[in-house]
Amino acid sequence: MNIRTVSTTPFSDQKPGTSGLRKSVTVFQTPHYLENFVQSIFDSLDGCEGQTIVLGGDGRYYNRQAIQIILKMAAANGIGRILVGKGGIMSTPAASAIIRQYKAYGGIILSASHNPGGPQGDFGIKYNITSGGPAPEKVTEAIFERSKVINRYKILEADDLNLDKLTVTRLGEMSVEVIDPVEPYARLMESLFDFERIRQLIKHDFKLCVDSMHAVTGPYAKDIFEKRLGAAGSVLNGEPLEDFGGGHPDPNLVYAHDLVEIMFANDAPDFGAASDGDGDRNMVLGNNFFVTPSDSLAVLTANATLVPGYKTGLSGVARSMPTSEAVDRVAEKLGITCYETPTGWKFFGNLLDANKATLCGEESFGTGSNHVREKDGLWAVLFWLNILAVKGESVEAIVKDHWKTYGRNYYSRHDYEEVDKERATELMDRLGGMLDGMAGKKFANYEVKYADDFSYSDPVDHSVSKNQGIRIGFTDGSRIVFRLSGTGTKGATLRLYVESYEPDANKHNLETQAALKPLIDLAQEIAQIKEYTQRDEPTVIT
């Protein structure tokens, strides 16, 4: 077998975003596009020759072709061993778990997460480091720098491998092990949660429904909920499809409509959950009840000691800046630190490695812990089931009781998708220019306490990440936050995050959008969203 060196020219747009490089499938199909980026990864890694790399993707369209290309390039670049998921498929949290279990050098994950798939959909690729977590900025920067000057890549001339059989083969000098990621992942879950107790709960007529949205978690959910926990027929849309059945594999009230219909019907099950394209996100629902991801993180934190894997308590917690401050209140009561990080899971890595935080979460339906270094959708579902099994109360009762103790943080995110990039940047620049001197200003009933562009200084490696979103906080504890998405592939996506705090339990039953209306109107006024986006309404409200 021959190693071929192919000359190439750089693409200028290979800068990884919030979570790796994400582009439309058609961009990835451009000759040399994927290869340039993969070679930039290998060129940026010190001493990866002879090492073990984990490889898998969420199974979306182009996954199969990309896996074969990456295998041949890995062999040509001297990688010693590749652990690849059966069929080239692995959920993101399973990939993280496997990197850790096998003490691999790193991993390459192919996913565009919750973005739609299919020939006209999106594709993505990201590199994870030895800890199992997304590469930190200094690594993604190095990859980007390399991609700007790359002039050749290496690839082995070989036939495609059959990845549908669990085998160990060779590709040139490199060993290729096709593994089943479901089994080690399920075993990790069994080590954290009280499966017997959850099994008893389900046996006593507790009904659940888990929507895999025709994405990667189907086989994991069937194995865990149906086989191991005995919830026969509980998995919805459990067959992974390359185009996710034409759906948008994002677990929220808009896109997980099959589940929402079931959970908001008269005879709804007790518990419902959905996960996204690559299995790292989760949405949790009770019978006719929606749990915001921010509240979910707060409830898991408050009840963590009920779960075997966390029974000795938490070292700390962390949330991304736009995530609501509900968890801060729990941390305060527990006497532990709550870290506020920029958006993106990569910022939790150092805190988890240094044991400064045990649980982490983002408002974007992401929750996880130190068991892996990615957010983990099914883990969150099992955490909830374990709490429900111990407490014997409904989801709604647990959340409402939580609000009674800590107060309620009304919270919502408004997304303006695919708006004009230049205008969106102008909106942010204009806001940025207004921050100085805003503190102390009054807008109707609100007085500005602070206004800044969020900057994060990592407490472990002291790296500083600037311009991570504009925050305007008010004296009554409410906040509005503005950011541009770093995962979108078309135009720009403006995200507006709105939060208010209500300590009075008599006022905890308002409809969220109604409760937040004055703040939403204020955000409109301050940022002139309609004018800049040319939109009357957000595309998605979560």
Q: Which helix (H) or strand (E) holds 347?
A: none
Q: Tell me if residue 55 falls in helix, strand or coil.
A: strand
Is 252 near ligand G1P (CB under 6 A)? no
Is 296 near ligand G1P (CB under 6 A)? no
Q: Min. distance of Cβ 364 from ligand G1P in angstroms?
A: 3
Q: In what order do the strands lie in the sheet with 289-291?
A: 235-236, 208-211, 271-275, 282-286, 289-291
Q: Is 131 designated active site?
A: no
Largest CA distance in the chain: 73
* Residue among 36, 343, 386, 412 that touches ligand G1P (CB under 6 A): 343
Whether residue 112 contacts residue 121, with contact meaning beta carbons closer than 8 Å, is answered with: yes
Is 19 near ligand G1P (CB under 6 A)? yes
Site for Zn ion, residues 89 to 148, rule: CB under 5 A: 113
Is 52 near ligand G1P (CB under 6 A)? no
Q: How do strand 208-211 and strand 271-275 relate by DSSP bridges?
A: parallel
* Residue among 278, 328, 415, 458 that touches Zn ion (CB under 5 A): 278
Q: Which is nearer to ligand G1P, 277 or 309 (CB)?
A: 277
CA distance 452 to 456: 12
Site for ligand G1P, residues 301 to 330, rule: CB under 6 A: 320
Q: Min. distance of Cβ 482 from ligand G1P in angstroms?
A: 11
Catalytic residue among 19, 44, 111, 113: 113
Q: Min. distance of Cβ 378 from ligand G1P in angstroms?
A: 16
Contact track, ligand G1P, 456-495, x by CB under 6 A: -----------------------------xxxx------x
For every residue of 336-400, DSSP letters joined together read: -EEEEE-SSGGGGHHHHHTTS-SEEEETTTEEEETTSSS--HHHHHHHHHHHHHHH---HHHHHH
Cα→Cα distances 467→343, 403, 435, 483, 484, Å: 11, 32, 13, 9, 10
Q: Cα–chain-centroid distance for residue 397?
A: 27
CA distance 242 to 232: 25
Is 276 near Zn ion (CB under 5 A)? yes
Residue type, 95: A
Answer with the entry of Zn ion, ligand G1P, none that 350 interacts with (C-beta below 5 to 8 A by kind): none
Q: Min. distance of Cβ 469 from ligand G1P in angstroms?
A: 9
Is 364 near ligand G1P (CB under 6 A)? yes
Residue type, 533: T
Is 18 near ligand G1P (CB under 6 A)? yes
Q: In what order do the strands lie in the sheet with 106-110?
A: 21-24, 122-128, 106-110, 52-57, 81-89, 174-179, 168-171
CA distance 338 to 341: 10
- Stretch of 93-101, 308-316, 339-347, 463-471 lying at the interface with ligand G1P (CB under 6 A): 339-347
- Stretch of 48-56, 73-81, 212-220, 272-280 lying at the interface with Zn ion (CB under 5 A): 272-280
Cα–Cα nearest to 382, from 8, 69, 93: 93
Q: Which is nearer to Zn ion, 217 or 292 (CB)?
A: 217
Burial class (CB in 10 A: 0-12, 13-18, 19+), 512: middle
* Residue among 35, 280, 325, 458 that touches Zn ion (CB under 5 A): 280
Contact track, ligand G1P, 365-394, x by CB under 6 A: -x----------------------------
Site for ligand G1P, residues 111 to 130, rule: CB under 6 A: 113
Q: Which is nearer to ligand G1P, 19 or 292 (CB)?
A: 19
CA distance 244 to 239: 9
Catalytic machinery residues: 113
Contact set with ligand G1P (CB under 6 A)? 18-19, 113, 320, 343-345, 362, 364, 366, 485-488, 495
Positions that interact with Zn ion (CB under 5 A): 113, 276, 278, 280-281
